[in-house]
Amino acid sequence: MTSKRSGPDIYDRLGVQKVINAQSWVTVLGGSLMRPEVFRAMEEAGQHFVIMEQLYAAAGKVVASACGAEAGMVCAGASSGNLLMAASILTGTDDAKIEQLPDTKGMKNEILMFKCQRNYYDKAFEQSGARLIDVGMPDGARPYHLEGAINDRTAAVAYVFAPSMKRPISLSEVVKIAHARGVPVIVDASAEVPPIENLTMPMKMGADMVTYSGGKGLAGPQNAGLVAGRKDLVAAALKHYMNPGSSRASVGRPAKVSKETIVGMVTAIELFLDADHAGIWDGWRAQARSIATAVEGIPGLRVVVEENENRQGPQPVIYFEAGWKGLSPAEIGKQMRNGNPPVMLGVSGDNDAINMAMVNVQPGEEKIIAARLLEILNPAKK
């Protein structure tokens, strides 16, 4: 009898296709790859029972230190981090209010957010029971827009750092305006590390709370995230998460993670802090240049390696100019996806460029990407 567990690896046995990920740390492709040390730590954690509150406290110290904050915790991804931040702002550590959510009757329940920063994931703030109130215009905002929007119902201002996200007013200016009116500022910085400096940047700029994805640049478990900030607010977030002594689970209960995930996340943070970030960046740069060099010189295409705040590390970017006579970027992306193995890359919303994030491209895969692009873009040059 043939074992159901036979076969070269788990994905082959399950009939799931493996891909080359040049799209970035996106959830739809599984986030990032954990290091062996993280797997070993999670396996070790799974061999014992512990008092979870002690583990929350120990992990919180690691998160707080890494983020330059008073306190921290591990949760189930940055989306749950947004939920916990919003909930903690609404209720503080008041048990009655914690149990009351998502009903916000009698509470300040409005969270201000720049209209140009509204995004696919912002519903997580609303799941707490808060109302999101747009500030400014679709293409930006001025300080007076924020000043004029703050009123006696304002619970917080939410600020978002993300690739290609507009920053109409700096976080430090937002903090200055909000704090002058006694309003806290919460920050969604899900995919903002690396560079390592971004792990402490929001706290240095005066934010009250911040959340990061654990399964992107930090290379922890994909279902993990971090929340860090003021001690009183993190204490409130932990109450929503744990519900000690409550008669009903709070809105934060879905943010919980296992002891194995917490230990894996703490291990990933420690590895990230000790990593050779300059060396890793140089490796991404070399891969990006390898792809760019392979496909440059084709009429109608402008190929560059870009490194800026809108790119997650050095990336080869192909711009399609007026003289381009070939396939559209969307069709090129489709053909790359339909190849064997599938290659996933980024296509701009304006359908005028293709970008390739090197952060998850494994050694040697840049050669496969370059060869496949060359085959599609210019078969004669192959």
Could you tell me where the beta strands, DSSP code E, fall in 279-329?
301-306, 315-320
User: What is the predicted pLDDT for the residue at 51?
Assistant: 95
pLDDT in tens, 70-123: 999 999 999 999 999 999 999 999 999 999 999 999 999 999 999 999 999 999
User: What is the predicted pLDDT for the residue at 1?
Assistant: 35
User: What is the predicted pLDDT for the residue at 164?
Assistant: 79
CB neighbours (10 Å) of residue 13?
13
User: What is the predicted pLDDT for the residue at 192?
Assistant: 93
User: What is the predicted pLDDT for the residue at 3?
Assistant: 46
Instruction: Pick out the chain residues at pLDDT < 50.
Output: 1-3, 380, 382
User: What is the predicted pLDDT for the residue at 210?
Assistant: 98
- CA dist 145 and 178 (Å) reads 12
pLDDT in tens, 321-371: 988 989 999 999 999 999 999 999 998 877 789 999 999 999 999 999 999
- Burial of residue 18 (number of CB atoms within 10 Å: 0-12, 13-18, 19+): exposed
Contacts of 291 (CB under 8 A, 6+ apart): 316, 356, 366, 369, 370, 373
- CA dist 363 and 167 (Å) reads 34
In contact, 27 and 222? CB cutoff 8 Å:
yes
